Amino acid sequence: MLTLHGVIGKEEETLEKPHCPQNSPYCVEVEEGKTYAWCTCGLSLTQPFCDGQHKGTGYRSHKWIAPKTEKVFLCGCKRTGKTPFCDGSHNA
């Protein structure tokens, strides 16, 4: 849920919990050694990756380095316990 509150004279968006952009994982090809920034707020327009939409929400991206080149399933519901990977939480 999005709420607005005043912070040092300006309005800032905060999220009580992340937005759920989709109730299934994103299957993406990652490259060994490359750093990725997974969206944690669910507001990014470039899901599952961060595009900075989290600014002012209290969330920040989760950065990780791919250990090898492969297809991975990244969480789409933002409720995973195995960040950034899907753990089936969208089925709960």
Query: pLDDT value at position 15?
Result: 74
Residue 8 pLDDT class (50, 70, 90 cuts):
very low
Query: pLDDT value at position 9?
Result: 40
Is 0.85 topped by the overall pTM? no
What phi and psi values does residue 44 have, to the nearest 5 degrees?
-60, 140
Cross-strand pairs, 82 = 85
Q: What CA–CA distance (Å, rounded) separates 77 from 91?
A: 10
| Average of per-residue pLDDT values in the chain | 88
pLDDT digits (tens, 9 = 90+) for 28-55: 999 999 999 999 999 999 999 999 999 9
Domain residue spans in the chain? 2-91
Instruction: Give the pair of three-digit tokens for residue 13.
Output: 């968006």
Question: How many beta carbons lie within 10 A of that of residue 35, not counting itself?
Answer: 8
End-to-end CA gap in the chain = 19
